[in-house]
Amino acid sequence: KKALMAADDLSSWRVKDLKKLLKANGIDTSAIVDKSDFVAMAQKVLKKKSDQEWLQSVAVALAVVIASTFVLVGVRAYRRPIRRKLHALYWLNPRWVVIVGTLKFLEWANYGLALLILASWVIPSRWNFTNVVWDYIAPFPLSVPLSMDSFSGTQHPMHYNQGPGRGGGGPGPGGRGEGMSINLWPIIYGWLFRRWQGQMAMKYYNLEMFRQGYVPYRTADDEDAKASSSSSSSSSRWNCPQCTYLNKRAQSVCSMCGVGRRPA
């Protein structure tokens, strides 16, 4: 309950409670002695939590707006009533619906993954919103540490700011960074999404070819049977010598011009 109090009331907290708050957020308090430093660090933690909650609310609102817009635009694009369209999709060919839905999900998942990676480079580390997302979709920390450049004293630009729970150092005592590392989870998720998307795209292609009348596997016996059937059907008819109309074998006179059939 005390963690939900305003930042102005932190001065009345005990040092023991301030230490609990900082340790619960992954901050080492062994180097902090003065109570004012405890209060300053606790204020930063509460400010960081409030920023994360604000970003989460904004993200949820944007997701609702985007999803609503997508649904409304999709409904207006249908020529027929939505009820008949859904009935035809879900009852006539459910496999097609599953494949198309999976492809759309993977497409938007790739977009979201790219936005998460870009946000980890652009959003300031004090907001740390991307780390909150990775805490839910990454089961355990998996990262490669980055070494500090001895000449310039700076990190490599291709980095991902990680918190203590994701394998990174995060903000240490006094607000200084303890290290950075490359998160490998975006690479793994991207590879899995691409592989799954390729398999579903191949199934979608085969299903569309089958729906258009193409036989996926045709053997030599099938070709011989098709050729024999076409030759037998052509021998059972005869062409008129004058108008070239195709008549049945049993007819002796052309049904189009009345010319008799020539003897074989």
Give pTM, 2 decimals: 0.36
What residues contact residue 42 under an 8 Å CB cut-off, 6+ apart?
A: 7, 10, 13, 18, 21, 22
| Model confidence pLDDT, tens digit, residues 122-138 | 766 666 566 666 677 77
* Residue 214 confidence class, pLDDT cut points 50, 70, 90: low
Quote the mean pLDDT of the chain.
68
Q: What are phi and psi of 144, to 5 degrees?
A: -115, 120
pLDDT in tens, 50-64: 888 888 888 888 888
For residue 129, what are the contacts with CB-CB under 8 A and spacing of at least 6? 51, 52, 55, 56, 59, 119, 123
- Most confident range (mean pLDDT) of 96-100, 108-112, 172-176, 259-263 is 108-112
How many Å separate Cα 261 from the centre of its chain?
A: 69
Amino acid found at 174: G
Residue 6 has pLDDT above 60, yes or no: no
Residue 221 pLDDT exceeds 80: no
Domain boundaries of the chain, sorted by first residue: 1-77, 92-217, 220-264
Going from the C-alpha of 259 to that of each of 119, 252, 254, 256, 263, the distances in angstroms are 84, 9, 5, 8, 12
- pLDDT reading at 171 higher than 70: no
| Residue 93 pLDDT class (50, 70, 90 cuts) | low
* Three-state SS at 145: strand
